[in-house]
Structure 1
Amino acid sequence: MSGEHTRPRLAAAEDPIWPLWRALPEPWRGPVIGEGIENWLAISENNERRLNLVGLPEVIAAEIAWMAHWQAVDGTRSSILAFNQLANILRRAIAQGHPFPGSIRQMDWTVAEALQGWFYATRWKRLPPSGARARLRVVFRFARLALLAACHDGAWWELDDWHPRCDPRIPLSAREPLANHGCSLSTITRLWLRAAAKWYLGTMLASGTLRWTTVSQERLKCLRRFDVWLDTLGDPLLVLGDPAAAAGQAAAFARWTADGRNRRLREEDDRHLGKPVHQRLINDDLRAVAELLAFIADNPAEARTVLGHSPWQHVTQAHAASWFRQVKRIPHGRDINDEHYVDDSALAQITAALPLIGTDREQQIPVRRGDGQQVSAAGLGDPQVQRMILLQILTGRRASEIRTCDFDCLASVPDRLVDAAEGEQLARFRYAQSKIDVAPDTILVGTDVTQVIAEQQDWIRQHFPGRTPRFLFQQRTGNRSGDKPYPSGTYTWILREFSNIVQIIDSQGRPVRLSHTHRFRHTRLTRLAELGLPIHVLQRYAGHATPTMSMHYIAHRQEHAEQAFLATVKIKADGTQVRFSRDDHDSLHLLDRADRFLPHGWCLLPPLQTCDKGNACLTCSMFVTDATHQSTLQRQLADTEQLIARSTAAFQQRHGRPMPDDNVWLVQRRAEQAALTRLLATLGDPQCGAVQGAGCGTAPTGPVPVSLDTRRRGQP
């Protein structure tokens, strides 16, 4: 390829790069690219420099021209400086007879890095700087993956590297977030396992049984752990051998994957070391292997065609059944648990420090940490993250549903709803429902949410002028077309940095990490449930297909359990109301005190105080009861009346005169009779669920005075 770029001759077995090269616009075919291309400065890096392909082999020159054009169409800048450096390396290799592959498709990053090292050593007598390595590395990421996919004429899943951005043949569901991440099947080292995994996962994706997110972020990791576990066997092919041994092998794999040290697939996984592995994660690993075995056993003829003569031909349904039987059932019942709930104390710290995320990196602002210490910190310079986390807090949506929602995500509501809102700026928010096809994807939102969205829309129009954005939150770089959402990895990284600076802790002293944003979904749904929202309304708001899943998100808070219990104990026998504050509820610890359960009600006396009333509960202000004890109270009233009748008759017979009304015994019994009468009358009211004692003012000794000392809260 020197001088004029000649059109290659057609051949019976034409290299697949040539149809792609012929489809390029004329200015992109070379041998010098740049002249006559509109907006060259905007779509390329390195200012006005041209891409020089003179002197390169025809196939490599065509490949580089296609990759440079693909980058421009993808919305990133064409890596002109990196391509020119690669061209210089290859021209020097040709001149000095240094060997190199015949195409970019055969040249992976390891080979290219070695060529670059040779080039710098022979020409500059030094190692290549890190910047030069990073610049050339970009070429062998997305652009080369796109080239491999475009030149591949077989099934897409036959490739070792999958990335929907580079290969549009990979099926994505209509409601799945735009996949900005790929996966590499080459991480499975055994070729027989890799071939079966590619066929199985590709078929599941094409049929819609599995989604891209599940395949790339879950199933592949499970099969990689299975691949690593095979190293512990003397002969890895034993897992496909005798079906009678499959049960023992599955049990051994379950024990192995239950050890957190064995689950490490990358350096970031070190943070999980020492933590117990949940049974659900162990089940996922077992289920992934079992389903692969079942898929091969169900399709023996296709397996012979796709996989050829391989160890998989011995797999039967007995293998899969043995692995499935090792999947243990996880009880559905939950203990009282609020580990995913963000309480008011932590939420106040988060919202107060949120401006740090949107502040410029060159600016320092004061921040109060969770321990109360005032520090000065540099801003994180990303107002998009500030608004995304705020929308998650306000709406309880998943991170992907906010991060990938449409730019025009607000719609008007009917006039009847506007009138009912009484001045509230009501709108219908359409989020990017990404998980459940049959679930709704809209919720009603108020002024706080609409203002945040409007502010983000103005920010996008200001920073991305002249574009028609697809998403409300945009990728800042490499997104000239405005069709890429904010990257999930960057979002998590910013929130992790924010957590490290602010060091948020909740009211119980536990750290709250914002990198786990799903906790805000738990918090929002818990708050709505505690407000008394009907379950079908809560399910609709959460976007769940079943109410069971919605209830899974509700935090079982001890504090709310006590409040809900005491909320039923609020009516005295004389009809007046008694209220309990949150501190009172915390001080009582009623649900933990078995000695406060009475035959006909409960005693609200604080644990640190003792009772001197004996059995005179009906005239004590600490006595409470409800309708569940109505039969006991009726029987007690009848017994009291019979006791009064017998005792007054015996007094009349013995003393020849009636028992006086101020008799100390009679006064107490009359007080209990009156209290029982009032209690039962109040419980007979259909609107009353519970009552409190001390409703008789005739007792010679009044209610026991009690002062709830909230300062003792939390003390033993």
Structure 2
Amino acid sequence: MTNERRSQHLRTIGAGDPIWRQWQTLPPEWRGPVLGPGISNWAEITENDWPRLDLSRLPDAFVAELVWMAHWQACDGTRVAVLAMAQLANIVRRAIDEEHPFPPSIREMDYDAAAALQGWFYASRGKRLPTRKGRARLRVLFGFARHALIAACHAGPWWQLDEWHPRCDPRIPLTNREPVANYGCAPGQISVAWLRSAVKWHLGTMLESGVLRWTTVSQERLKSFRRFDNWLTTCLADPADVLADPTAAVEQAAAFARWIADPRNRVTRESDTRHLGKPVPIRGINDDLRAVAGLFEFVAANAVEARAVLGPSPWQQVTTTHADSWFGRVTRIPHQRGFDDANYLDDHALTQITAALPLIGLPRDQQLTLTRGDRSTITADGLDDPQAMRMILLQILTGRRASEIRTCDFDCLSAVPDQPQAGEARALTRFHYAQSKIDVAPDTILVDREVTEVIAEQQCWVRTQHPDRSRRYLFVQRNGNRSGIKPYPSGTYNWVLRTLSDLVAITDSKGRPVRLSRTHRFRHTRLTRLAELGLPVHVLQRYAGHATPTMTMHYIAARDEHAEQAFLATAKLRADGTRIQLSSDDHDSLHLFARADRFLPNGWCMLPPLQSCDKGNACLTCSVFVTDASHRQVLQRQLRDTADLIDRATTEFEKRHHQPMPEDNVWLTQRRAEHAALTRLLETLDSAPDAAAHGATPARREPSAGPVALTLDLSRHRRSRP
């Protein structure tokens, strides 16, 4: 391209169209109107083999906008939409030639206007409408690239825009623990103008101040305001009446609460329809009421700023009475939640899940035969997503949240200093996960070799996919991520989980269906199993990454099976192996009085506190001696020592007297009785659970209940190659 042709599109930077300020920041080879020549990696960053993109004969603003969007796509890691831009250029050129009207710029042309122009182009040229593929190609331009263009040319606060996308607008504040999301939100969809302006200002201020996070604003708070907007336009003759009479605010809040209690009125997007037919939880109604009350409170507390930002509007009537009335309709939820096992996955369900994991990583041209939860057999095609397979596996093994695995750093493992030498197979590593929910909570845990191997294989997979790129995330987006800097999207992960659930139809031991889309159940299960191993609450809290032990205890499932077995494990046994019932006096003797002379190396003495013992060390033949599973190792050692003592004494007796020791020998009779008592005790203990035994140290404890060690065939689940 000659300098004369390039100079035709130069504009003075100043008070004119802001697109020219953005155009001026582009490298010279990216300023058009012909792209391709001079761009070294053009073939790598474009979606096809076209050597060039010709935007000549287009209006100047169109050229500047399209070349800026192409450069943004290249920097974003997606491929430049050459086909869509070339098609749009042909459409605009034909419209110019035939004097057909069209918007003056891409910023003023939304997808509907572009689709109408495309329809005219096809109909006037070939008497037919564009194909679905052709319309989809054009839609690419009016997604992220156009949003980024509008944000770059917008001179006011970012929250004034109708579309919010952190990926397209770096001005939107994110915390250090929030990755740049692929999803956005659209406050511009609020139909009531005065409400839309206030919501933008309110949520933008809350984000910038750090009171709210992007995840809360985009996925929860804006939905509440969308429902409030629907209620205003549906149920009130004049939406501004909600801000008029403060005495009517209580009844209006109650009417809104009744309205949003209907699942049909909560639908703000297509995905919400899956909740139809299900009762609306009180917590969801409360969240909507708090959102509206918080907006009223914010505007009332900042009346001067509201007049400057919002101008003349119904908001001038809002008072703190409105906010208090809406807050007053929030229903108090009693915190009387009992422990249950509703979120616990038993071994029956986990076995089915781990058996189905290879299907996720299997290529699409391969099949796997599986047994469904209803015991039927299916043969299904692979889902070709080894990343999702490893993510599920890591959630099962570590109990981390889905977001903490999905967005964790690529270099997430570090050595543990001063680690005791416990053998290579049990070596521990520190795992740094993406703690994005609680700022004050820890973000590391110790993991074993099994977890380390899964992470190492994922790192190898990423290196193979992006050999020459800088790697930030352990799990990366596969499409539209040429540079490998975008994390694995949550929508894709949820789709894989739903698909696998539908195929395998997993059930637990009680026949109840288990939906894999509820991955938080893996967290409940992991913490429950650690609790059943006897870990103290403060250790569980540290492992879970919670700010308070109260939250940690909500994750512990009260399984009847474990409760029964743990109770049986505390049973006290006599020397003959029979159980005894302890009265309150007995407990007083053992614990309240804390009598040191009643604590024996291998059990307890139940002799009343005021009586004395004259039996010496003959406890195993005493009727008031009791013990339990916490003394198993002492009893086992005593059994071995007693057997060795009997063998040594009888051998020396025979050598000295040249005849065997008689069975009625006083000493031998007592030792035989002790040996028999120890044998009976250990046989009884071996036949009963023992994990909840009081006084046992963590090193001696074994799992006390239903949870059994689950062996996972890791090599079968994973693929190291792309």
User: Which TM-score band applies after superposition, normalised by the shorter structure?
Assistant: 0.7 to 0.9
Of 321, 325, 330 in structure 2, the residue corresponding to residue 327 of structure 1 is: 330
Deviations 1:631-689 (A, max 9, x none): 8999xxxxxxxxxxxxxxxxxxxxxxxxxxxxxxxxxxxxxxxxxx988764999999x
SS at match of 1:104: coil
Residue aligning to 1:691 = none
Report the more deviating stretch, 549-558 or 89-98.
549-558
Q: Which amino acid aligns with 2:572?
A: I
Distance, in Å, in 1 between the alignment partners of 2:220 and 2:631 is 52
Residue aligning to 1:626 = 582
Of 132, 143, 146 in structure 2, the residue corresponding to residue 130 of structure 1 is: 132
Shift of 1:562: 2.5
Report the more deviating stretch, 445-454 or 1-10.
1-10
Q: Is the 8 A contact 1:40 1:48 kept in 2?
A: no
1:272 correspondence with 2:228:
no
Residue aligning to 1:396 = 399
SS at match of 1:512: coil
Residue aligning to 1:413 = 416
Distance, in Å, in 2 between the alignment partners of 1:395 and 1:527 is 11
Q: Which amino acid aligns with 1:307?
A: L
Distance, in Å, in 2 between the alignment partners of 1:32 and 1:11 is 22
Q: Which amino acid aligns with 2:101?
A: P
Q: Is the 8 A contact 2:506 2:513 kept in 1?
A: yes
Residue aligning to 1:712 = none
Q: Is the 8 A contact 2:161 2:188 kept in 1?
A: no
SS at match of 1:429: strand
Residue aligning to 2:96 = 94
Q: Which amino acid aligns with 2:165?
A: H
Distance, in Å, in 1 between the alignment partners of 2:338 and 2:535 is 22
Residue aligning to 2:260 = 257
Of 48, 55, 61 in structure 1, the residue corresponding to residue 63 of structure 2 is: 61
Shift of 1:4: 4.4
SS at match of 1:366: strand
Of 77, 96, 99 in structure 1, the residue corresponding to residue 79 of structure 2 is: 77
Q: Is the 8 A contact 1:162 1:184 kept in 2?
A: yes
Distance, in Å, in 2 between the alignment partners of 1:685 and 1:278 is 45
Q: Which amino acid aligns with 2:264?
A: R
Residue aligning to 1:48 = 50
Residue aligning to 1:472 = 474
Q: Which amino acid aligns with 2:150?
A: L
The 5 A counterparts of 1:616-655 are 625-628=581-584, 630=586
| Cα 1:8/1:633, change in 2 over 3 Å | closer
Residue aligning to 1:358 = 361
The 5 A counterparts of 1:71-470 are 71-230=73-232, 231-415=234-418, 417-420=419-422, 423-470=425-472
Distance, in Å, in 1 between the alignment partners of 2:421 and 2:511 is 44
Residue aligning to 1:6 = 8
Of 520, 537, 544 in structure 1, the residue corresponding to residue 539 of structure 2 is: 537
Q: Which amino acid aligns with 2:76?
A: D
Q: Is the 8 A contact 1:358 1:381 kept in 2?
A: yes
| Cα 1:435/1:421, change in 2 over 3 Å | farther
| Cα 1:632/1:37, change in 2 over 3 Å | closer
Deviations 1:369-416 (A, max 9, x none): 11222211100001000000000000000111101111111000123x
| Cα 1:7/1:87, change in 2 over 3 Å | closer
Shift of 1:157: 0.4
Q: Which amino acid aligns with 2:417?
A: P
Distance, in Å, in 1 between the alignment partners of 2:199 and 2:402 is 29
Distance, in Å, in 2 between the alignment partners of 1:237 and 1:201 is 20
Deviations 1:220-275 (A, max 9, x none): 01111111111112222111111111111111111111122211222222221111
Deviations 1:317-345 (A, max 9, x none): 11100111111121222234222111110
Distance, in Å, in 2 between the alignment partners of 1:679 and 1:76 is 81
Distance, in Å, in 1 between the alignment partners of 2:104 and 2:89 is 13
Q: Is the 8 A contact 1:398 1:518 kept in 2?
A: yes
Q: Is the 8 A contact 1:428 1:445 kept in 2?
A: yes
Residue aligning to 1:571 = 572
Q: Which amino acid aligns with 2:198?
A: A
Deviations 1:467-494 (A, max 9, x none): 1211111111211221101111001101
Q: Is the 8 A contact 1:5 1:31 kept in 2?
A: no
SS at match of 1:83: helix
Distance, in Å, in 1 between the alignment partners of 2:100 and 2:564 is 79
Q: Which amino acid aligns with 1:369?
A: R
Distance, in Å, in 2 between the alignment partners of 1:403 and 1:382 is 13
SS at match of 1:549: helix
Distance, in Å, in 2 between the alignment partners of 1:470 and 1:149 is 25
Q: Is the 8 A contact 2:416 2:428 kept in 1?
A: yes
SS at match of 2:421: helix
Q: Which amino acid aligns with 2:473?
A: F
Distance, in Å, in 2 between the alignment partners of 1:5 and 1:115 is 29
Deviations 1:509-553 (A, max 9, x none): 111111111111111111111111111100100011111111111
Q: Is the 8 A contact 2:575 2:625 kept in 1?
A: no
The 5 A counterparts of 1:508-519 are 508-519=510-521
Distance, in Å, in 2 between the alignment partners of 1:165 and 1:680 is 74
Shift of 1:102: 0.8
Report the more deviating stretch, 40-49 or 213-222.
40-49
TM-score, scaled to structure 2: 0.80
| Cα 1:258/1:564, change in 2 over 3 Å | farther
TM-score, scaled to structure 1: 0.81
Deviations 1:544-589 (A, max 9, x none): 1111111111122222232333333x223x24557xxxxxxxxxxx
How many percent identity over aligned positions?
64
Q: Is the 8 A contact 1:294 1:320 kept in 2?
A: yes
Gaps in structure 2 of 5+ consecutive residues: 591-620, 633-686, 688-722
Distance, in Å, in 2 between the alignment partners of 1:289 and 1:540 is 36
Deviations 1:36-63 (A, max 9, x none): 1011110012213411111111011100
Deviations 1:80-120 (A, max 9, x none): 11001101111111111111111111001111111111111
| Cα 1:225/1:679, change in 2 over 3 Å | farther
Distance, in Å, in 2 between the alignment partners of 1:483 and 1:632 is 64
| Cα 1:50/1:684, change in 2 over 3 Å | closer
Report the more deviating stretch, 281-290 or 2-11.
2-11
Q: Is the 8 A contact 1:425 1:450 kept in 2?
A: no
Q: Is the 8 A contact 1:177 1:434 kept in 2?
A: no
Distance, in Å, in 1 between the alignment partners of 2:421 and 2:248 is 70
| Cα 1:685/1:266, change in 2 over 3 Å | closer
SS at match of 1:354: helix
Deviations 1:391-443 (A, max 9, x none): 0000000111101111111000123x242567412100000111111111100
SS at match of 2:581: strand
* RMSD (Å) for aligned C-alpha atoms: 2.4
Q: Which amino acid aligns with 2:481?
A: N
| Cα 1:433/1:11, change in 2 over 3 Å | closer
Q: How many residues align?
A: 600
The 5 A counterparts of 1:576-591 are none
SS at match of 2:430: strand
SS at match of 2:107: helix
Gaps in structure 1 of 5+ consecutive residues: 579-620, 635-676, 689-707, 709-716
Q: Which amino acid aligns with 2:186?
A: S
Distance, in Å, in 2 between the alignment partners of 1:440 and 1:7 is 54
